[in-house]
Chain A
Amino acid sequence: MARLRIGIVLYENSRPELERLARSLAASEPSPDLELEVRVLDNSPEAALEPVVTALLGQGTYRWTGSNLGYGAAHNRGMREAFASGAGAYLCLNPDAVLHPRCLPELWITASRPDTGLVDARTFPEEHPKPYDPETGDTPWCTGTALLVRPAAFAASGGFDEALFMYGEDVDLSWRVRAAGLRARTAPGALVHHWVEHRPLTLERELRVLRSAAYLGRKWGDQRFAVRYERSFRARAGQAPELHAKADVPAAARRLADLSHGVRFARSRW
């Protein structure tokens, strides 16, 4: 039997949000060959959520990181521990998501196909417009809302690029995993409710997106793309973004990076 560790990274989340998530985890249908365990890493300034998480998800599930590591760095810590303990997969799960009861078994079915490195669930009710092959599930990149990572993908990539604090780290990881010869796939039958379209686009969030885009442009060797988003960042923030990106991706791998569709990073179905 394989073990799937579900990793959830928090930052000052509300109790109702965590209750919704916990209810959906409890409602998940079991898979005969899959054992589930949950670990929560809290990036909040204080460990105030410990009693809430313990009450909802059980003793030993909560850990406070002590500082805001960011999404990618916190999940990297979670993945290192999970794979060192023999987990067969790690699921990066957003705390504001609600899993459909069939989501986890469907993710696992796709993850069990040969050469699979990453699997994402279909976001619901607004599916991400990036394409996927409806037969094989192959997709240009996997979204991070409910992202299953196999040990081989972590070993080949080292996990998320920790220089990306938020936004774009899932795109970058997908391209690197694919460059290592593994597949990024969507599990069409795995639905994860994640509704963010109604949230206001704050300046802080917009700057993070622009900075991540500029960083990915530099890293993956598309200077025009990088400059376009650096200019946009400067226009919004009044200063240039701090980027420490090196164009260190081998030329052969760069062909996997699709920077011709703006920050959607793939052809859009709509």
Chain B
Amino acid sequence: MSSTHVHLVAWTEEPWDLEESLFSLVTQEEAAVTVSVAVPPRLEPFAAEACARLARLGGPMELRPGTPPSWSPAVDAVAVWVAGTVATPDHLARALAASGPERGLAVAPARRVLRRAVPGRPPYVLRKTRRFTAPVPSLTELARDPAFLGRCLVPASRAPRWLPGSAEEHRRWAAEVWASGLATRVPGPPSIDLPDLRAERTVRSLDDVRDVLAELRYQGPRWLERRSPLTFDRLRSLYHRLRGDVTESGRG
């Protein structure tokens, strides 16, 4: 089983962001993971409690509050998450399969999650939107999201030997990674949700337009399915017949 080191950084004092990211990491499947956790001083006791609490769920996981100087040389890949990032259980396994010394850095398809803070309770999710991801993602395309490093799984051989903390360090760390070779998109549906920490959310670039189109492409069929399931079903069958997809159930 391949091993990954995830460095989890909290930029705020929202304990739920940390809790949900840790829960997501503890429930990763088919991946051995070590996690280091760097949080603001006021969150340190909570981080230690959360790590102890979630470690009881077991699995091939080692949770360590505090920032190590670097990761173990035995790991195959490195990721850096901002607290609030949540992934599907197959995220690391899919990203590991798409990365490696030959293929390089893997970038997972992602969604942006816009939340509203609720005092004393977990943030309320207002919406999740799909992001466009190019087959060979550029750093410019990704870095529009401050928490973008969560999407990236970097082979240990290509990762800088230091761990980033601030947003500025995240960009510098990523620039070093991109300078060492190209990135590859992980195939399949989004496997990771990034907290939307952008200060500016208006459409300003072609990449923003592509994000809007990616979301419409996803929501359109679902709107039709709710409005007219029969029409949706017929169009779906036609689409899969044209693609030549046949499954045991007769549907694509």
CA distance A29 to B87 in the complex (A): 24
What's the interface size class on B, roughly?
A: 35 or more
Please state if A188 and B122 are interface contacts (CB–CB under 8 Å). Answer: yes
Please state if B116 and A228 are interface contacts (CB–CB under 8 Å). Answer: no
Interface size on A, residues (CB 8 A): 43
Nearest CB to that of A197 among chain B residues?
Answer: B88
Number of A-B contacts (CB under 8 A): 96
Kindly provide the distance from the CB of A230 to the nearest chain B CB, expressed in whole angstroms. 10
Report if A189 contacts B (CB, 8 A): yes
Kindly provide the distance from the CB of B57 to the nearest chain A CB, expressed in whole angstroms. 5
CA distance A206 to B121 in the complex (A): 36
Chain B residues, CB < 8 A from A188: 118, 121-122, 124
Query: Which residues 229-243 of A sit at the B interface, judged by CB distance below 8 A?
Result: 229, 231-232, 235-236
Report if A191 contacts B (CB, 8 A): yes
Query: Which residues 1-59 of B sit at the A interface, judged by CB distance below 8 A?
Result: 16, 20, 23-24, 27, 53-54, 56-58
Chain A residues, CB < 8 A from B23: 100, 124, 191, 193
Kindly provide the distance from the CB of A127 to the nearest chain B CB, expressed in whole angstroms. 6
Nearest CB to that of A23 among chain B residues?
Answer: B58
Report if B234 contacts A (CB, 8 A): yes
Chain A residues, CB < 8 A from B125: 127, 269-270
Query: Which residues 46-74 of B sit at the A interface, judged by CB distance below 8 A?
Result: 53-54, 56-58
Please state if A262 and B118 are interface contacts (CB–CB under 8 Å). Answer: no
CA distance A62 to B225 in the complex (A): 41
Please state if B193 and A264 are interface contacts (CB–CB under 8 Å). Answer: no
Please state if A101 and B54 are interface contacts (CB–CB under 8 Å). Answer: yes
Chain A residues, CB < 8 A from B86: 124-125
Q: Mark A15-30, 1 if CB is under 8 A from B, else 0.
A: 0000000011011010
Kindly provide the distance from the CB of A207 to the nearest chain B CB, expressed in whole angstroms. 10
Report if B250 contacts A (CB, 8 A): yes
Please state if A232 and B27 are interface contacts (CB–CB under 8 Å). Answer: no
Please state if B250 and A203 are interface contacts (CB–CB under 8 Å). Answer: yes
Chain B residues, CB < 8 A from A206: 249, 251
Report if B198 contacts A (CB, 8 A): no
Interface residues of B (CB under 8 A from A): 16, 20, 23-24, 27, 53-54, 56-58, 86-90, 116, 118, 121-122, 124-129, 189, 193, 225-230, 233-234, 247, 249-251
